[in-house]
Structure 1
Amino acid sequence: MNQKIKKQFEAGTEVITTCTATSGNPPADLLWTIGDKDITHFSENTTTETGDDTRLHNTESRLMYAFNASDDQQYLKCESFQHDSLTSRSSLVLMNVQHVPVIQAIVVDSWEGNTVVVECLATANPDDVIYSWESDHGQTGNTGTSNKWELIDDDDDDEVTVTCNARNSIDSTSLTEIVKKPYIPTVPIPTENLYTSKKK
């Protein structure tokens, strides 16, 4: 049976976690994963005999790992594995990893004339993110919890350099990107006799 619990940590903090498999014969292998990522190499295993019965063994694995933003809301899993019977038991821990905002991109939400609305795509934990902005033309803005900002393309050259600053209760981060006006390509409508073939 899988056991599921939830733990909260701050990103970058090394956490020591132990997992134990008891009374195994042969001794169990203990494997660690976070989401789809194998992190067993961050652990150390020790095996001891169970009391007076030398046939049975306890295995303890000690994981030393610093969780990061990509681990947030992922399950930390410790799985014991018996080679001969191919049976396993596992324990799942949902990781609530608090981290500064991670900005993936700044994208154009709309571009009408020289009025531009950009959107800052970010994730954070906690998600109490406050946004502020700058452009290469000296424009600035504070949009509070909204991740969208309206600005003007002053020189009407269909591109502008924008900086998004995202701050939560942990810390702040920023990203600067050049955004360009999107254009929908014009595709001619094929005429009925555009392609013809001759029958022999």
Structure 2
Amino acid sequence: MQQVVLASSNLGKIREIKPLLSDLPLQIIPQSHFNLTDAIEDATTFVENALIKARHACQHTRLPAIADDSGLAIAALNGAPGIITARYAGAARSDKANIDKVLAKLADESKRQAEFHSVMVYMEHAEDPCPIICHGRWSGSILYQRQGTGGFGYDPIFWVPTHQCSAAELPAEIKQKISHRGHALTDLVNALKKKYSNN
């Protein structure tokens, strides 16, 4: 069975991603297994940052890698927090501080449309000239206060209109199907099934 590195140290992401890859003939190993530190994400787009993470994992493990870069884009904030979603309120990456900052910035704003984006990348090796890249999007809006205790990140303030609740109130199996990461992963799984069935 082919080993593949999951290029993330974010436990919430790992919990969401690993089960969705379980149908593939792959052994998914988190980068922490290799004592691999996070890559420096210094690009300006989700796509570029996902490629940086995947390439970093490939270089240091000599294995194929799957990486995700994702974030929240709020229309009234010109797409912020965007690529700095995890560290919007500072380098400490505090979910509470990030949410507090978003709520403060939107305090007097009635237009609260937002989208989560996820870019999933599969790289065969560090010099892979044609990595698989999949993009998922999840549209909703920002609540005025936290609602629910599930999920992670901005889930408690992200309103999901199709289910009339916050992302933090969704059962995990529903969130996995309808979220930005779920959409990107579904596309990635389909691409990898095709790739490995042809090998």
Q: TM-score, normalised by structure 1?
A: 0.24
Higher strand proportion: 1
Q: TM-score, normalised by structure 2?
A: 0.24
